[in-house]
């Protein structure tokens, strides 16, 4: 695999090699180098809202494919555990339920809700048993407000990813945000996951791709802020001054007509804050040229849901899908290898490409 390089000076830089979007080798390398070490969105604490709740899930199904389990103890403490029995590898929990213990349905091995081994039939003669290896693997769990995240590794602290977003919008009453499964959707895009992310990371295309959104957002005042190392923010300013946040005086944006905050968290999460609430978008790689996008909707103010920049997310999503699918075909051309960046409009995409190159070259 060739070395990837993106000049830190955006005015000199060329875009990252198209191998990122077309190579199966690169696609597989990303799995361990980037996704296994980054923080990933699980959902809200509503998944285990009651004591003794158990919620099995697969982290990035069809890519990482890691079977995991959320449990909530009697004390209320939430754990993120491997959902694989330490005896013979059976999946422990098949569906969400309430349970006082975790019992494997293959040979009866029993675990506590914190993952500690409890008992095992027919094992009296086994030497040096039990040991720490017989406990379920416990994963780091990060909770911000009602939102839960985990990582398969422990390379990076969660603050590297989330601290700037939390500082900027921490004034919002997140306990009043409630998950609406009826508004949450899944989309399948015939394009590489990185193409979808870099499209999100710039507002440069808004006047050309999103006529409806462009009528609401002031393109001239569209701002991009980079937070290092692993996040960035785009701020959409309302043209009319309507359908905006009522910002507190403590906000650094107080006095602005902010219609939307678009936070990107490396490598594949978008947190889109609107006056009605929050849309979390998780970009899930399935193949070099196929990506699943999951929208999770958390409503704060129902009466504002169909207005402003966050009023017709489905239309905006379909417009984005159409353009990135065309780009996926274009980057396969033998005549295209690199482009250049707009210094004023593509700072977010340049930042993303720099991170991809850094991880690939490690």
212 lies in the same domain as 331: yes
Q: Give per-residue pLDDT as tens, 269-284.
A: 999 999 999 999 999 9
| pLDDT for residue 117 is more than 80 | yes
* CB 284 within 8 Å of CB 294: yes
Report the alpha-carbon distance of residue 229 to residue 328 in Å, rounded: 27
Q: What is the pLDDT of residue 28?
A: 97
Residue range of the domain that includes 333: 164-360
Give me the phi and psi of 199, to 5 degrees please: -65, -40
Report the alpha-carbon distance of residue 200 to residue 300 in Å, rounded: 23
Q: What is the pLDDT of residue 2?
A: 58
Nearest C-alpha neighbor of 152 from the set 37, 19, 270, 310: 37
Judge whether 11 lies within some domain. Answer: no
76 lies in the same domain as 191: no
Judge whether 174 lies within some domain. Answer: yes
Report the alpha-carbon distance of residue 40 to residue 106 in Å, rounded: 30
Write down which residue in 150, 176, 209 finishes a domain. 150
Write down which residue in 150, 183, 203 finishes a domain. 150
Judge whether 157 lies within some domain. Answer: no
Q: What is the pLDDT of residue 242?
A: 87
Query: What is the sign of the dihedral through the CA atoms of 324, 325, 328 and 334?
Result: negative
Q: What DSSP string runs through 269-326?
A: EEEEEETTEEEEEEEEEEETTEEEEEEEEEES-GGGTTSGGGS-HHHHHHHHHHHHHH
* CB 126 within 8 Å of CB 86: no
**Count of the separate structural domains present in the chain:** 2
105 lies in the same domain as 228: no
Q: Give per-residue pLDDT as tens, 2-33.
A: 579 999 999 999 999 999 999 999 999 999 99
DSSP 219: G
Query: Could you give the percent of the chain with pLDDT greater than 70?
Result: 99
CB atoms within 10 A of CB 153: 13
Report the alpha-carbon distance of residue 198 to residue 347 in Å, rounded: 10
DSSP 35: I
Residue 350 host element (H or E): helix 347-360
| pLDDT for residue 169 is more than 80 | yes
- What is the separation of C-alpha 58 from the centre of its chain, rounded to a whole number of angstroms? 14
Residue 261 β-bridge partners? 235, 273
Q: Give per-residue pLDDT as tens, 197-226.
A: 999 999 999 989 988 888 888 888 899 999
The pTM of this model reads 0.94
CA dihedral 113, 78, 106, 122 (to 10 degrees): -20
Residue 226 β-bridge partners? 232
| pLDDT for residue 313 is more than 90 | no
CATH number (domain holding residue 282):
3.90.380.10
190 lies in the same domain as 300: yes
Judge whether 23 lies within some domain. Answer: no
130 lies in the same domain as 257: no
Report the alpha-carbon distance of residue 265 to residue 233 in Å, rounded: 9
316 lies in the same domain as 350: yes
247 lies in the same domain as 202: yes
201 lies in the same domain as 139: no
Q: What is the pLDDT of residue 25?
A: 96
């Amino acid at each position: 695999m060739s070395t990837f390089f993106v000049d830190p000076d955006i005015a000199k830089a060329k875009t990252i090699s198209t191998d990122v979007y077309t190579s199966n080798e690169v696609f597989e390398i990303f799995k361990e180098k980037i996704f296994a070490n980054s923080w990933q969105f699980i959902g809200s604490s509503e998944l285990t809202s009651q004591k003794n709740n158990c919620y099995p899930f697969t982290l990035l199904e069809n890519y990482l494919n890691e079977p995991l389990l959320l449990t909530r103890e009697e004390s209320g403490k939430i754990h993120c555990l491997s959902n694989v029995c330490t005896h013979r590898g059976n999946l422990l929990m098949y569906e969400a339920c309430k349970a006082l213990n975790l019992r494997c349905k293959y040979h009866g091995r029993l675990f506590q809700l914190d993952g500690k081994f409890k008992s095992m039939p027919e094992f009296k003669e086994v030497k040096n048993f039990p040991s720490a290896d017989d406990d379920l693997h416990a994963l780091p769990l990060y909770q911000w407000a009602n939102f839960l995240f985990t990582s398969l590794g422990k390379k990076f602290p969660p603050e590297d990813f989330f601290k700037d977003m939390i500082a900027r919008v921490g004034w919002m009453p997140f306990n009043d945000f409630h998950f609406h499964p009826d508004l949450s959707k899944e989309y399948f895009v015939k394009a590489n996951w990185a193409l979808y992310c870099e499209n999100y990371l710039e507002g440069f295309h808004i006047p050309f791709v999103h006529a409806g959104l462009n009528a609401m957002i002031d393109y001239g005042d569209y701002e991009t802020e980079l937070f290092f190392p692993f996040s960035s923010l785009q701020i959409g300013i309302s043209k009319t001054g309507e359908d905006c946040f009522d910002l507190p005086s403590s906000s650094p944006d107080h006095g602005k007509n902010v219609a939307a905050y678009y936070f990107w968290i490396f490598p594949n999460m978008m947190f889109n804050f609107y006056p009605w609430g929050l849309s979390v978008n998780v970009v899930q790689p399935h193949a070099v040229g196929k990506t699943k996008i999951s929208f999770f909707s958390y409503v704060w103010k129902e009466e504002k849901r169909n207005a402003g920049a966050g009023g017709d997310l489905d239309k905006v999503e379909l417009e984005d899908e159409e353009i990135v699918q065309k780009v996926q075909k274009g980057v396969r051309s033998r005549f295209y290898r690199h482009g250049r960046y707009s210094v004023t409009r593509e700072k977010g995409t340049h930042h993303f490409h720099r991170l991809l190159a850094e991880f690939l070259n490690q």
